[in-house]
């Protein structure tokens, strides 16, 4: 990961979401990207050349565009037609993003497209976020990393967010993941927790 004067940046073509640029670098806004928020708050995960990434919930392409600046290939799954239009525009100058219009909860739909990956990153606003995560483990190599950006209010608005996160951690561990870090994303994103896991070998 590249830092300039305390800001997380990536090297790539700008103009995706009005982000500030410094020379050849794009400033990665933590208020617009949970991945950037995680990094700004001390999260320890390094995007590196050669990584293969499955990104679930790519939306308009804000975060996946930065991820693609670092890695070999990013498979970007998005279900909604309107964000997919924006995502396709983001992909035009980037040869290493593979846009996939599909439901992340039904990975069989893209099983023939996605190879084994080093990182699965999930940012999906659904009540069954953990089920979706576990369904996509089939793409993750042994020892690979799964990052779930848990939107607690989407799971159950009546429960305390920390209780929702604790339940998610238990379910992920029971599903075959080793949870390495749980980090709340305030002040950038309210009631969101980054849960970083390792696939058991």
96 in Cβ contact with 74 (< 8 Å): yes
Q: Is residue 125 a known part of a binding site? A: yes
Report the alpha-carbon angle 183-184-185, nearest 5.
Answer: 115
Q: Is residue 103 a known part of a binding site? A: yes
State the Cα–Cα distance between residues 56 and 83, nearest whole angstrom.
Answer: 13
Count of other CB atoms within 10 angstroms of residue 141:
15
Q: Is residue 126 a known part of a binding site? A: yes
Q: Is residue 63 a known part of a binding site? A: yes
State the Cα–Cα distance between residues 15 and 66, nearest whole angstrom.
Answer: 12
Nearest Cα neighbor of 200 from 176, 167, 183, 182 is 176
Q: Is residue 145 a known part of a binding site? A: no
Q: Is residue 35 a known part of a binding site? A: no
Q: Is residue 78 a known part of a binding site? A: yes
Q: φ, ψ for residue 178 (rounded to 5)?
A: -100, 115
Q: Is residue 124 a known part of a binding site? A: yes
Q: Which residues pair with 185 in a beta bridge?
A: none
* Known binding-site residue numbers for S-adenosyl-L-methionine: 62-63, 78-79, 103-104, 123-126
Instruction: Could you list the residues known to form a binding site, using ranges.
Output: 62-63, 78-79, 103-104, 123-126
């Amino acid at each position: 990961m590249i830092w300039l004067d305390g800001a997380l940046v990536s090297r790539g073509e700008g103009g995706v979401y009005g982000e500030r640029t410094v020379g050849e670098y794009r400033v990665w806004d933590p208020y617009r990207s949970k991945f950037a928020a995680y990094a700004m708050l001390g999260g320890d995960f390094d995007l590196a050349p050669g990584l293969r990434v499955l990104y679930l919930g790519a939306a308009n392409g804000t975060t996946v565009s930065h991820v693609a600046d670092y890695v070999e290939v990013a498979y970007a799954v998005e279900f909604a037609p309107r964000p997919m239009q924006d995502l396709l525009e983001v992909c035009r100058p980037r040869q290493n993003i593979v846009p996939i219009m599909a439901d992340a909860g039904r990975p069989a739909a893209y099983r023939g497209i996605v190879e084994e990956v080093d990182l699965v990153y999930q940012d999906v606003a659904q009540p069954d976020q953990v089920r979706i995560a576990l369904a996509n483990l089939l793409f993750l190599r042994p020892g690979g990393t799964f990052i779930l950006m848990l939107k607690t209010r989407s799971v159950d608005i009546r429960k305390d967010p920390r209780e929702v996160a604790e339940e998610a951690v238990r379910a992920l561990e029971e599903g075959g993941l080793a949870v390495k870090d749980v980090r709340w994303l305030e002040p950038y994103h309210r009631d969101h927790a980054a849960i970083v896991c390792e696939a058991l070998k």
